[in-house]
Amino acid sequence: MFKKILIANRGEIACRVIKTARRMGIATVAVYSDADARAPFVRMADEAVHIGPSPASESYLIADKIIEACKATGAEAVHPGYGFLSERTSFAEALAKENIAFIGPPVNAIAAMGDKIESKKLAKEAGVNVVPGFVGEIRDTEHAVEISNEIGYPVMMKASAGGGGKGMRLAYDEKDVREGFESVKREGLNSFGDDRVFIEKFILNPRHIEIQILGDQHGNILYLNERECSIQRRHQKVVEEAPSPFVTPAMRKAMGEQCVALSKAVGYYSAGTVELIVSGADPTGESFYFLEMNTRLQVEHPVTEAITGIDLVEQMIRVAAGEKLDLTQDDVKIDGWAIENRVYAEDPYRGFLPSTGRLTRYKPPVPGWTDDGAENGRRGVDGVRVDDGVYDGGEVSIFYDPMIAKLITWGKTRDEAADLQVAALDRFELEGLGHNIDFVSAIMQHPRFRSGELTTGFIAEEYPEGFHGAPADDAVTRALAAIAGFMASAEADRARRTDGQLGDRLDPPAKWQVTIGGESHKVKLGHKHIKVDGEKIDIALEYTPGDRLVVAEIDGSELAVKVAKTRTGWRMTTRGAIHDVRVLPWHVAPLATHMIEKIPPDLSKFLICPMPGLLVALHVGEGDAVEAGQPLATVEAMKMENILRAEKTGVVKTVNAAQGDSLAVDAVILEME
């Protein structure tokens, strides 16, 4: 077994690998860029080596710097995590030349399966079902249009070396191809150093199913069941679960055996994933097609660990050290259900715009992932596991992926795992930047999600007008009113005791008007209970003025609420929605109608940059007439290109930015007449 390994990655996956290696008695080396100098994974590792500036292209993507760090520290092996160099054949070859083990598959398997174009050719030759498409070299945009017209719309354009949702565009017509082809090429080049693109037919009502593969260097290959990753946004996975509510035992066996055969054909070993697309319109589930094989570890691997009890990182290390697998296919079981939500630095209330900045408050519902060799490691504390690589006061940078953490829950049933997600998300305190916690909570509660009727179009179909918070039922609203009344009395009592001028005999108000969502509720506090609009509510909670999380037991049910003080009450967040709560004493409430409302200014004539980023393209100039929906500018943030479109018809008056400019949030790019 190795004595020391280097992790050629960052963030939560670096933390994840370090913890398993520590349990195995293996020393670890971290490498880090300028942006990550204070990151948790750097402090966790036994040694850390600085490898360059913040951009990945100047640090994490430079193989020579990784190898130099191995030599300087005596690391015998490298775990690449996912992304960066994890599927770069040249990196694995360079390590082999230096007699440094690669904790991953053999070079030939990476070359055959890591390239989406070559992998499709190989799969087709092996008799595996592949999605109809064009797998040759595409010369330019006109050639892409010609190919797309031949295949028939809709089509998907993908960067050959892409992954993680980067370098992908869905085109419903020729206009979409012309607008998106060059963006796909640029994203592929910027993120993976490869601008080749392929085009394939987009399967309608598709479900995204993937099979976890585990193999050793002695010819043993197993499939560790499936994961469903159908809920995606911009082709980037948001929710993953294992097993799939769609896959039957017969489908699982057919898919698994086919994926094992494909893996054997390329001499694969280590932990990888074969991704399949299944037509949700086919009730038999027999219409599944090979999409690609990711030869490295997947972001969503924890849900497989939770239902199988197998530590995939440990298995990768043991396989790389030459050990045989200590289990057979018959040993692979399905125990319960696991769901993973990716917590992203993006604001669903503002069209999912990327958000960067400092985490002024970061308190996950349980401590970050720990592995003590028992179920607590795979399934977390009471079924809740958090994989993260950030810290309270740390910064989410523009240079890397927007994922902040992964929240994994395990339950005996799918509903139990989903209920745990909602409860844990309510306790996930994250402030300082936009995030998608409310959004994934809303998904967990959505009737369609609970029914298991999923497709990759779920988000677009269920939130066509964007996300505005999960709907709140009457029980939640009444509970919030009761909590607000309790908190208001606690605040008033504290003020009474702090200000001696009021005297000890003056009791704090016990009658409040609580306004939530435009509706007012009368809240009256008694000695042992609270009445909301005349109805008694049994409530138990502890609140000290200044608390940011309140957990209340209301009529026998627990509700966690994140609170932030406002001028007239609180902003309360729970169960996937934000509620602005105004609290006034009964005798003051009638005066509220005389308050002046501030009207926000009209900014519709400005094109304002919605996030910090790089202006990679400006599509119009001064004097140009534009139509509503027309692309005006393209801004790259967190390695993803975002097309900014005209809100209405007009003429460009002035242009205030140039291609190549680094833009701050709210920077004015151009002004319309």
Q: Which residues are catalytic?
A: 292
CA-CA distance, 559 to 562, in Å (whole number)?
Answer: 10
- Torsion angle (degrees, nearest 10) of CA 44, 50, 54, 58: -130
Question: In 498-521, which positions are buried (b, 16+ CB within 10 angstroms) versus exposed (e)?
Answer: eeeeeeeeeebbbebbbbbeeebb
User: Which H helix or E strand runs over 353?
Assistant: strand 353-354
Q: What residue has token string 């943030």?
A: 637
Of the candidates 627, 605, 620, the one whose C-alpha atom is nearest the C-alpha of residue 655 is 620
Structure tokens at 631: 């692309």
Q: What are the strands, taking DSSP E only, across 586-660?
A: 606-608, 613-618, 625-626, 631-637, 640-645, 650-655
Taking the CA atoms of the chain, what radius of gyration do you get in angstroms? 27
Calpha distance 208→255 (Å, rounded): 13
SS3 of 485, please?
helix
Nearest to 255 by CA among 208, 324, 209: 209
Supply angle C-alpha 561, 378, 291, rounded to 5: 95
* Dist. CA 403–CA 339, nearest whole Å: 16
Strand partners, 289: 277
Structure tokens at 409: 């829950």
On the CB side of 109, CA atoms within 13 Å amount to 24
Question: What is the C-alpha separation between 645 and 627, in angstroms, rounded?
Answer: 9
Task: Name the nearest CA neighbour of 394 among 29, 6, 40.
Answer: 40
CA–CA separation, 112 vs 20, rounded Å?
A: 29
> Of 318, 357, 97, which is closest to residue 220 (Cα–Cα)?
318
Helix (H, G, I), strand (E, B) or coil at 257: helix
Helices and strands (DSSP H and E) totals, the chain: 17, 40
Q: CA 583 to CA 480: how far, in whole Å?
A: 11
Edge-to-edge, what's the strand order for the sheet holding 166-171?
A: 133-134, 197-201, 155-163, 166-171
* 3 state DSSP class of 456: coil
CA distance 364 to 437: 11
Q: What are phi and psi of 442, to 5 degrees?
A: -60, -40
Angle at 605 between CA 601 and CA 609, to 5 degrees: 90
Token digits of residue 593: 């109608």
CA nearest neighbour of 66 among 503, 394, 75: 75
Other C-beta atoms within 10 Å of 555: how many? 13
Q: Are strands 27-33 and 47-52 parallel, antiparallel or unpaired?
A: parallel
Pairing between strand 197-201 and 166-171? unpaired
Q: Cα separation of 212 and 300, whole Å? A: 10
Phi-psi region of 363 (alpha: psi -120 to 50; beta: other; left: phi over 0): beta
Would you say 345 and 433 are in contact if contact means Cβ atoms under 8 Å apart?
yes
Contact 223, 330 (CB under 8 A): no
In which element (H, E) is residue 30 found?
strand 27-33
